[in-house]
Structure 1
Amino acid sequence: MTKVKDIIQLFEQWVPVTYAESWDNVGLQIGNLDSNVEKVMTTLDVTDQIVDEAIEKDVDFILAHHPLLFEGLKQIDEKKLKGKVVHKLIKHNISVYSAHTNLDIVTGGVNDMLADRLFLQNQKVLVPSITEKLFKFVAYVPQTHTGSFIEAIGEAGAGHIGNYSHCTFKSAGVGSFKPQKGTNPFIGQEGVTEQVEEDRIETIVKENLLHTVIEVAKKAHPYEEMAYDIFPTVNNDQTLGLGRIGEITTEMNLQDYAETVKKAFNVPFVRFVGDADKIIKKVAILGGSGKGYINAAIKHGADVYITGDLSYHEALDAKEEGIGLIDPGHHIEQIMKQGVREYFVQNIEKLPNKVEVICSEHSTEPFQWK
């Protein structure tokens, strides 16, 4: 049976908790790592209505973008909203996991989903925050098991270079060893020196996946003791961070592009700031509340910056600076529901047992329009 810990381990191969900002609260918030999971539901927020939906649909595990527990919870009072929600989740044995700024930052996460929805070309990170470290992982494998070993570590995330996976280098040699008393060797016998034709397998592993890859490698290796080396490298993987900036394929004015954004995110209206006839080519976008990064968009030469929760003074300053702004609301981050579901569907075979993954159908958008 698939456990909560299995769901988390699979998800964190893509979205490590270490990517989250220091002030954030991510990871398992309610639940037991050893609880069984048959159905997962993705959601932007965890509200009373969302929990009712999870109960109705027999959901065991809620994966949310916005943390349910952010500030310290000093008491669980059922007469108060937060306490009511927490009590209901515990009563129905529903685990809650949050991936917030780490899901914003990671490659393929919220900001990439938003940029892709707008078909931005030549995408780059708007606000760099993390440069992933790379390590070289070297293992010595009997040639009878080379293929299955490479496949196993590749599935665990080793050997990912750009858009290529399972990248390894293999060189043949002869390994020797003498099993000592009390061992149970896969090849050879106690007290006798054995020589085996082996392959030296070299690959690249991201720092956050190193522990997982080693554990998977040990399970895939036939020997009692796997011989392996870890080497730090001077080269790093891609830089990660908040927001994305790219180019649209067809230039248009700000007013028309605001309409494009409105349709792309299926919102009833957008607010925009700037000259309606300003020509738009370079676009910056940052999901959620990104008013603190307007200067980053200006620095990168964006013609327009798209983000939520813009206020009067930031809008006024941006207008004076000459950059366009489009505010489609905070709720467009709900795009993560389908994006996270697709990740699980594509990797479902890595779980001990298949689980059903659904998106919440309830909208948590608090605003209404007349």
Structure 2
Amino acid sequence: MGKTKVSDIIGLMEEWAPKKFAYDWDPVGLQIGRPDAEISSVLVTLDVTEEVVNEAEEKGAGLIIAHHPPIFSPMKSVRTDTVQGRLVEACLRRGISVFAAHTNLDVAPGGVNDMLAEQLGIKETSVLTETYVEPLYKLAVYTPHDSVEKVREALGKAGAGAIGDYVNCTYEIEGTGRFTPSGGADPYIGEVGKPEAVEETKIEVVLTASIRSRVERAMIKAHPYEEPAYDFFVLDQRLEEYGIGRIGRLERPMTLDEFAKHVKERLDVPALRIVDGGCAEIRTVAVLGGSGGKYAADAAARGADAFVTGDMDYHTAQDTAALGLSVIDPGHHIERIMVGGVAGHLRKAAAERGLDCTFEESEIITEPFRFV
């Protein structure tokens, strides 16, 4: 078994929460260190502080995976007499790399917002606000009958034809292909200079834009023709919706006060703030980790009775109540749920890939507020 590298763990994270899911202002990815550094342990944390870096060193972690990027705005200098400069220096001196998965992990299926929804017992969830649309293509390729299964298998292995819970989905039409090999050709069927007619099958398969190049290469490699005939068509429909926040239903209706106590207990917070939107019964709930005030109108439009999110400001709270939407604000720190969630996901994914690495959950509480 070879040594595990930082890039191996980044690969696991980006398969789950690819950068394309992140907002364009969000500096996700490897922020400190080098991808080829060898590691044996990873520390997962919500925030990166000097205390967390000390913890990583004590636990022998060569990589920190954080939700909140420690370098959020571009640094014009690395001065070690500043908080941010000292943090970067501490990581570099100790050979600790730092990788951030922020809004991409919020959007990713199974990510932060799904973790929060599950913890609160919200069922039948869907995306609250769409933020990313994966372009969808249809590939049509023409192949002789005796090569259909070989080409179909190659397309499926490359990821084409995956629709919901189904894989290797194709549609096939039989017809006649006509061509004349010209000088210099090395035809699989026919002779140079002679018109040829071949009974062929048109294979149609859908695929996402992110795998188009891979599917095209696999198809050409598996195809028997020197110059296969094929077309890509852009489709209007989508295979999957990606976005920020989740909305769903509680197993049973609650009053606002009952639901607030439920949130407080399930998210283990010492206090929370409540905005009463006047709804007598809470059944449909939207949740968005972090600062979700600007999505309150979306939650109301989707029919939510209550919206669980952090950092709600005074005027947004007033406007939200006027929409008839109640708010439960348990703070930004509830996103710490990602520590156990990410560590658990990576343990499983690393074991499946045969990576020799352990994953530690940070014990440092980075909540800056104290409640009295």
Query: Fold-level match, TM-score > 0.5?
Result: yes
Moved more, 46-55 or 71-80: 71-80
On the 8 A contact 2:171/2:205 being kept in 1, the answer is no
The residue aligned with 1:77 is 79
Match of 2:305 in 1: 303
* Distance in 2 of aligned mates of 1:9 and 1:138: 31
The aligned counterpart of 1:282 is: 284
User: Where does residue 179 of structure 1 map in the other structure?
Assistant: none
Q: Please, which of 337, 340, 348 is the counterpart of residue 338 of structure 1?
A: 340
Give the alignment partner of residue 23 of structure 1, picking from 12, 22, 25: 25
Kept in 2, the 8 Å contact 1:170–1:201? The answer is: yes
Root-mean-square deviation over aligned CA pairs: 3.8
Among candidates 262, 266, 270, match of residue 272 of structure 2: 270
Structure 1's 200 and 53: CA in aligned 2 closer, same or farther, altered over 3 A? farther
Q: Is contact 1:10–1:351 with CA below 8 Å preserved after alignment?
A: no
Task: For residue 28 of structure 1, report the CA deviation from its aligned partner.
Answer: 1.1
Q: Structure 1: which amino acid aligns with 2:110?
A: G
Aligned equivalent of 2:316: 314
Deviation at 1:282, TM superposition (A): 1.0
The residue type equivalent to 1:247 in the other structure is: R
Equivalent position of 1:188 in the other structure: none
Distance (whole Å) between structure 2 residues aligned to residue 357 and residue 168 of structure 1? 37
Q: Say which of 302, 323, 329 aligns to 2:331.
A: 329
Percent identical pairs in the alignment equals 38
Structure 1: give runs of 5+ residues left out of the alignment. Answer: 174-191
**1:133–1:144 distance in 2 versus 1, CA, 3 Å:** closer
C-alpha change, 1:78 and 1:124, in structure 2 (3 Å) is: same
Output the CA distance in 2 between the equivalents of 1:354 and 1:149.
Answer: 31
Please report how far the alpha carbon of residue 337 of structure 1 lies from its aligned counterpart in structure 2 after TM superposition: 1.5
Give the SS at the match of 1:13. helix
CA contact (8 A) 1:127 1:296 kept: yes
For residues 92 and 145 of structure 1, the distance between their equivalents in structure 2, rounded to whole angstroms, comes to: 51
Q: Is contact 2:277–2:322 with CA below 8 Å preserved after alignment?
A: no
Partner SS, residue 126 of structure 1:
strand
Partner Cα distance (1:76, 1:4) in 2: 23
Cα distance, 1:207 vs. partner? 2.8
CA contact (8 A) 1:115 1:244 kept: yes
* 1:332 maps to amino acid: I
Quick one: structure 1 residues 44 and 115, their matched pair in 2 at CA, closer, same or farther if it must change by over 3 Å?
same
The residue aligned with 2:251 is: 249
Which residue, out of 109, 115, 118, partners 1:116? 118
1:135: how far off? 3.9
**1:354 Cα shift?**
2.6
Q: Deviation per CA, 1:107-159: give whole Å up to 9, x if none.
A: 221111111212212212211122222345789998999999689646xxx65
**Greater mean alpha carbon deviation, residues 276-285 or residues 295-304:** 276-285
Contact in 2 for aligned 1:137/1:231 (Cα 8 Å): yes
1:8 to 1, 7, 10: 10
CA distance in 2, matches of 1:210, 1:80: 46
The aligned runs of 1:165-184 (5 Å cut-off) are 166-169=167-170
Distance 1:193 1:275, change over 3 A: closer
Hey, what's the Cα distance between the residues in 1 that align with 2:270 and 2:344?
Answer: 26
2:69 and 2:128 map into 1 onto residues whose CA distance is: 24
SS in 2 for 1:361: coil
Alpha-carbon contact 1:42-1:62 (below 8 Å) kept = yes
Residue 297 of structure 2 aligns to which amino acid in structure 1?
Answer: N
Distance in 1 (alpha carbons) for counterparts of 2:14 and 2:212: 12
Cα offset, 1:230, TM superposition:
6.1
Letter in 2 for 1:327: D
Choose 129-138 or 57-66, whichever is displaced more: 129-138
What letter matches 1:59 in structure 2?
Answer: A
Whether contact under 8 Å (1:282, 1:303) holds in the other structure is yes
Distance 2:333 2:290 in 1: 7
In the other structure, the counterpart of 1:51 is: 53
Counterpart residue number, 1:35: 37
> What is the distance in 2 between the residues matched to 1:22 and 1:279?
38
Are the counterparts in 1 of residues 278 and 324 from structure 2 also a CA contact under 8 Å?
no
Contact 1:45 1:364 in 2 (8 A): yes
Q: Secondary structure at the match of 1:348?
A: helix
The reply on whether 1:102 has 2:104 as its aligned counterpart is yes
Cα distance in 1, alignment partners of residues 63 and 151 from structure 2: 37
Structure 2 contact 274–329 (Cα < 8 Å) conserved: yes
| Alignment partners' CA distance in 2, 1:211 and 1:351 | 24
Could you say if the C-alpha distance between residues 34 and 283 of structure 1 is closer, same or farther in structure 2, counting changes exceeding 3 Å? same
Give the C-alpha shift of residue 304 in structure 1: 0.8
Alpha carbons of structure 1 residues 275 and 21: separation in structure 2 relative to 1, 3 Å: closer
In 1, the alpha carbon distance for the partners of 2:6 and 2:150 equals: 31
Distance 1:150 1:22, change over 3 A: closer
* Larger CA Rg, structure 1 vs 2: 2
Please give the residue correspondences for 1:190-209 in structure 2 after superposition, counting only pairs within 5 Å. Answer: 204-209=206-211
Residue of 254, 257, 260 corresponding to 1:258: 260
In structure 2, what is the Cα distance between the partners aligned to 1:303 and 1:142?
A: 56
Structure 1: how far apart are the matches of 2:278 and 2:293?
20
Q: Structure 1 residues 347, 143: CA separation in 2 closer, same or farther (over 3 Å shift)?
A: farther
